[in-house]
Amino acid sequence: MDVRIGMLHNPKELALDLGEVDRDKVKADVDGALAGPVSVLWLTDKDGRSVGVPTDRIAYVELGKADNTRKIGFAPER
């Protein structure tokens, strides 16, 4: 699953490929980090690298499709 995180005062976004993970668990982790006393959201990509994002700097979080399929070309969706 692809995750994109926009940061405050930064024109670039952080893009991670988490591999095959539970979308609802990732969403719950993000919700918990933003709502609670946690100051850093930790995510681990498919290669095992951990990335910490300060929660007070997160502008938005975009979760990709759960099945991790990517479209190639200009064929209409079926």
pTM of the model: 0.77
Residue 36 within any structural domain of the chain: yes
We report the CATH number of the domain holding residue 23 as 2.30.30
The pLDDT of residue 12 is 92
Residue 11 within any structural domain of the chain: yes
* Residue-number span of the structural domain to which 58 is assigned: 2-63
Residue 45 within any structural domain of the chain: yes
Residue 70 within any structural domain of the chain: no
The number of domains in the chain is 1
Share of the chain above pLDDT 70, in %: 83
Residue 35 within any structural domain of the chain: yes
Q: How far apart are CA 24 and CA 75, in angstroms?
A: 30
**Residues 29-44 pLDDT 10s:** 999 999 988 899 999 9
